[in-house]
Amino acid sequence: MKNPRKSSSANISPRKKARKSRCSVCASLFSKNGLQALNSSTGFSHRTFEEYKSTLASCDFCNFIFGLAVDGFGHSWLPNTHLVFRNKNEPRVNVKSIINALEGSIEGSDGTITIYPFAKENDPLSTMIPRRPLCRDVKSSHVFNEAKKLINTCLSPKDPSLGHQRCRYSGDNVLPTRVIRINDRSVQLQINKTDRRGSYLALSYCWGNPDPNKQTSLYKLHNDNLDRLVEAIRVDELEQSVQDAINVTRQLGYTYLWIDRLCIIQDCEIDMAHEISRMATIYKNADVTIAAGTSERAAEGFLGTLSTNAPYLPSSKFSIPMENGRKGTVYLSGKAYEPNHALDKRGWTMQEYMLSSRMLIFSDYQLLWQCQEIELQSVTGDEQGLEYQQHLESLPWAAFDDGGEPAYGTHDSDKLYLWKTIIMQYTRRNLKVSDDRLPAVTGITTALQKVWGDSHIYGHWQQWFIELLAWQIPEDSRVKDRRLNRAPSWSWVSVDGEIEFKDPIIAKDAIVKTLTARMVTISCKILMYEEMDDADWSTLSQDFDLVDSALTQEFGDRQPEYLLLGSTTTCDTEERGLGLIVLRTDNGTYRRVGVAAFSDMSIWDQVSHRVVELEPKQK
């Protein structure tokens, strides 16, 4: 997995005039002697920190490299230390005669920067630089054949012991309740009343709004059309993404396909609740999940031409003088490519991503593969194309393996960090129905309950209940109201939008006494507003949940109180208190309105513990 780098070089932007390499050192990188040095054990010694600073005004190439290196190495780059480049070696790339990628390092640092060069087909530099402008290809026979090879290597159906060991879950291959059965000439809904076994694919896609020009489209399964779909499904009535998924299923040689909108009865709450609770099993046991990465709505499809159909080329463009007197043009990217998928912005699809054993992602330029043993890459594995940055690399799939103790998440601190990371990334995504805030992660919580042997209440795990109360809303994301009919105010589920966890609670002070969905009581210290003097206020920082206008209305004539959860340690090893800002309700319970931090813990010394009840969910 590639680490993201801050860089001034964007992936794609309007073409600019080529900047010039005005120094001999930069030009020599792309010479025969430069290539020889790049492939040597000592590498190509480019410039020191001080030398770069002196050339910034005269060489655009040096300026580009210096920006990447400062971001990558920071203060560890000493003034007289050289930045050394080497030709990045790949298993299937012969780097003797080409520049694959420039991997830069400095003495005293384990980090590296990587620069990916591209050249056009007939450019003088094209004989040395193999990467070309990349046109979209996600459906050619070559691409599908390579995808089938990857699936076969990972699963090894004839002898599973030869497949990827980390991708072998203990789950069986029982088909879901309903699947789409796809033959050469027919498509129909199949209902599995008994445990029928079989291999199947699952689709992850954005629903979006229906196509207004397709009046007879079949959008979803409901009680009125169930019998008709069991007899036959007219493919031309389906939304384009579903048609594309059926095409992909045939191309990959599979018979069964699971699609939520057509395999869950959408007008039956009982069926929806039952199938959503099985989401973890459905995606986990699918041979592969087809991810329609680029389409914002199902009507668009994911196999066709995109509106942004220009070939990929990095925006940083440089003119390089060559040994034969000609000038070549190189396009440079200072970071791995991170696709901007519409699918990655949808709330429901995060659990589909996390729970899938294997994924085929139909991206903006290439068909991508990912499993637990192979990081995100093109199915063709062409190292002359793009290297990819995975946006969810911090979420290890091994945490969901119920076949034994997972490789990650054996310590409570790992588990708590994982859950916080999941929630922070999930709440940045969009939900069409805001009340899906908790249901859209039911698959994840179901899987983790089995692995962790714990249960959660409104998205808060029992063993870390106090720690998870310290969530907060970023200042620019404060909300206008609470959804107290959805969840209690102490839960992140009660608000819409992004939430975050900052300082972790190292030492708990509050203790849970009662913890059920209907009642939460804790033993804690509470400091009242009128008990605080000016010196106390100077130690306090506050972050409220609601915007100021809504906050004024919520407070009315009441004053806030402060409930101590525990303490953390700052970078200066100073102890710092963390707590909730609460309001006492008319029935004596306490409503959360924000979080507070105290730089002076001594203000709590004379405060005694007492048992209080947190405000429950409203009916």
pLDDT in tens, 357-393: 899 999 999 999 998 888 889 998 866 678 787 665 4
Q: Is residue 200 located within the same domain as residue 244? A: yes
pTM, two decimal places: 0.84
pLDDT at 338: 82
Quick one: which H or E segment has residue 200?
strand 200-204
Please indicate, yes or no, if residue 558 is contained in any of the structural domains: yes
Residue 404 confidence (pLDDT) above 80: no
pLDDT at 182: 98
- Closest of 9, 11, 6 to residue 74, by C-alpha: 6
Q: Is residue 190 located within the same domain as residue 107? A: no
Question: Which of the four pLDDT bands, split at 50, 70 and 90, describes residue 13?
Answer: very low
Compute the mean pLDDT over every residue in the chain, rounded to the nearest whole number.
88
Instruction: Note whether 384 and 130 are within 8 A (CB).
Output: yes
Rounded-to-integer distance, Cα 105 and Cα 72, Å: 9
The pLDDT tens digits of the residues spanning 276-286 come to 989 888 998 99
Q: Is residue 49 located within the same domain as residue 152? A: no
Please indicate, yes or no, if residue 436 is contained in any of the structural domains: no
The pLDDT tens digits of the residues spanning 91-137 come to 666 778 899 999 999 998 889 999 999 999 999 999 999 999 988 89
Q: Is residue 494 located within the same domain as residue 477? A: yes
Question: Which of the four pLDDT bands, split at 50, 70 and 90, describes residue 438?
Answer: very high
The pLDDT tens digits of the residues spanning 290-325 come to 999 999 999 999 998 777 668 889 989 999 998 888
Whole-angstrom CA distances from 173 to 149, 169, 578 are: 20, 10, 47
pLDDT at 409: 54
Q: Two tokens at 550?
A: 């809504």
Q: Is residue 229 located within the same domain as residue 372? A: yes
Q: Is residue 514 located within the same domain as residue 604? A: yes
- Beta carbons within 8 Å of 181's beta carbon, 6+ residues apart: 187, 188, 189, 190, 255, 256
Q: Is residue 50 located within the same domain as residue 164? A: no
The pLDDT tens digits of the residues spanning 451-508 come to 888 999 999 999 999 999 999 999 999 999 999 999 999 999 999 999 999 889 999 9
* Torsion of the alpha carbons at 12, 17, 23 and 24, rounded to the nearest 10: 80
By CB neighbour count within 10 A (0-12 exposed, 13-18 middle, 19+ buried), where does 503 fall?
Answer: middle
pLDDT at 480: 96
Please indicate, yes or no, if residue 511 is contained in any of the structural domains: yes
Please indicate, yes or no, if residue 1 is contained in any of the structural domains: no
Q: Is residue 475 located within the same domain as residue 610? A: yes
Q: Is residue 120 located within the same domain as residue 267? A: no
Q: Is residue 328 located within the same domain as residue 299? A: no
Q: Is residue 345 located within the same domain as residue 233? A: yes
pLDDT at 400: 52
Please indicate, yes or no, if residue 416 is contained in any of the structural domains: no
DSSP E strands, 440-536: 456-457, 460-461, 507-508, 511-515, 520-528
Strand partners, 360: 290, 369
Expressed as residue numbers, the domain containing 98 is 19-131+317-333
Residue where the block lists tokens 């990371």: 421
pLDDT at 423: 96
Percent share of the chain, pLDDT over 70: 89
Structural domains counted in the chain? 3
Q: Which of 370, 385, 400 is the last residue of a domain?
A: 400
Q: Two tokens at 462?
A: 């029992």
Residue 39 confidence (pLDDT) above 60: yes
Please indicate, yes or no, if residue 433 is contained in any of the structural domains: no
Please indicate, yes or no, if residue 10 is contained in any of the structural domains: no
- Beta carbons within 8 Å of 143's beta carbon, 6+ residues apart: 137, 366, 367, 379, 380
Q: Which of 375, 400, 425 is the last residue of a domain?
A: 400
Please indicate, yes or no, if residue 446 is contained in any of the structural domains: no
Three-point CA angle 355, 361, 366, nearest 5°: 160
The pLDDT tens digits of the residues spanning 217-271 come to 678 999 999 999 999 999 999 999 999 999 999 999 999 999 999 999 999 999 9
Q: Is residue 476 located within the same domain as residue 352? A: no
